[in-house]
Amino acid sequence: MDRSIELERQYCARNYDSLPVVLQRGEGVWLWDVNERRYLDMMSAYSAVSFGHSHPVLVATLIAQAQKLAVTSRAYHTDQLGPFLQSLCEMTGMPRALPMNTGAEAVETALKAARKWGHKVKGIADDSAEIIVCRGNFAGRTTTIVGFSSEPQYRDGFGPFAAGFVSVPFGDAAALEAAITPRTAAFLVEPIQGEAGIIVPPAGYLAACRAICTRHKVLLLCDEVQTGLGRTGRLLACDHDAVRPDGLVLGKALGGGLLPVSAFLASEELMGVFAPGDHGSTFGGNPLACAVGAAALRLMVDGRLVERAQEMGARLIEGLRAIDHRAIREVRGKGLLIGLELDPGVISAREFCERLMRNGILSKDTHATVVRFAPPLIITESEVEAALAVIRAVFDSLSDNDRDRIAA
């Protein structure tokens, strides 16, 4: 066993079951382990590395800003925050933004804003506002967020949980409308569910939800921490349905694969519930994060990465669907957010990912049956074809003996 893995197992909390590879450097869509073996990154750190590893523009921006000013807290103004938020708001069409660090922090910010809006603007009685969520959701690991998760492991032993959340089936607009009561403040939804296994709702679902929320004076909050900033072949996944939410959560790719950067963006009315002292973050909106985030947004446009995600994603999905193998149940996704669902009676997703790793591709399973493919948006046609060749070879290598061994 590699010494690095031994040290992690000795000293680190055992809250991850990582693949047995030790990485030491990355460039573009490629990663190298400590033995200098190269791997094609088909995970992008759950979409956080959309621009590729160690992008020279982002690294240069990071170094230059770090040498000038990194962190001051929001006790003072800086020359980086305003321009960054201007770019972010103008690009997304949202009037205001509140900078945070992690996706979970930004979701928590959205929940706080929605509850206060419900009480102060909609007129819901104090401490009784409800937020509707979807089964299969994943918005982070805080106690509030896991409290409205439908995944038993995420909740097990971590209660008691906050009240005020109502769960409905994902992709069912009628169920959303049926769940709305006078106490409903908001509906929080991922346009595509990522951790659940890249679950794509029926066409028009989000547009129907938008209409329902407007009709009942309920906020529509879109969690685009994983799907936003080009990942699905649109700048925002809600753009597929031409939907403008009342609140939008971004993260992951916003930090350019270098820093944790997130933001809650909202309408004037919704963001207007915050007054000085209501909410904050020591590191949120720090100059280093703002400089890198602004550079990442410029790269998104200059590199036509939204268009590239659409084109390369279509090629990857088409190639995966062309593979004829008994282990494949379904290929689903949009852009470069793709799930390959496998029959666990033939091979588990974990085993498949380990075989991919041994053949030079890094991915990760979810829920034991789905392999995720979400490479950096800079991936080229030849790299997509190389990935497909390896994936086909892994399927071709499966035998009846493998199936029997894994099923046992």
Q: Is the pLDDT of residue 405 over 70?
A: no
The fold of 56-302 is Aspartate Aminotransferase; domain 2 (3.40.640)
Active site residue 41: no
CATH architecture of 3-54+305-407: Alpha-Beta Complex (3.90)
- Give the pLDDT band of residue 17 (cuts 50, 70, 90): very high
Give mean pLDDT, residues 217-242: 98
Among candidate residues 51, 84, 138, 395, the one labeled active-site is 138
- Give the pLDDT band of residue 145 (cuts 50, 70, 90): very high
- Give the pLDDT band of residue 406 (cuts 50, 70, 90): very low
Active site residue 278: no
Among candidate residues 41, 148, 187, 223, the one labeled active-site is 223
Active site residue 404: no
Query: What does the pLDDT read at residue 367?
Result: 87
- Give the pLDDT band of residue 338 (cuts 50, 70, 90): very high
Q: What are the residue boundaries of the structural domains of the chain, listed by start?
A: 3-54+305-407, 56-302
Among candidate residues 252, 283, 352, 365, the one labeled active-site is 252
Q: Is the pLDDT of residue 182 over 60?
A: yes
pTM for this prediction:
0.95
Q: Is the pLDDT of residue 408 over 50?
A: no
pLDDT in tens, 287-300: 999 999 999 999 99
pLDDT in tens, 341-367: 999 999 999 999 999 999 999 999 998
Mapped to the 3 state alphabet, what secondary structure does the chain carry? CCHHHHHHHHHCCCCCCCCCCCEEEEEECEEEECCCCEEEECCHHHHCCCCCECCHHHHHHHHHHHCCCCCCCCCCCCCCHHHHHHHHHHHHCCCEEEEECCHHHHHHHHHHHHHHHHHHHHCCCCCCCEEEEECCCCCCCCHHHHHCCCCHHHHCCCCCCCCCEEEECCCCHHHHHHHCCCCEEEEEECCCECCCCCECCCCCHHHHHHHHHHHCCCEEEEECCCCCCCCCCCCCHHHHHCCCCCEEEECHHHHCCCCCCEEEEECHHHHCCCCCCCCCCCCCCCHHHHHHHHHHHHHHHHCCHHHHHHHHHHHHHHHHHCCCCCCEEEEEEECCEEEEEECCCCCCHHHHHHHHHHCCEECEEECCCEEEECCCCCCCHHHHHHHHHHHHHHHHHCCHHHHHHHHC
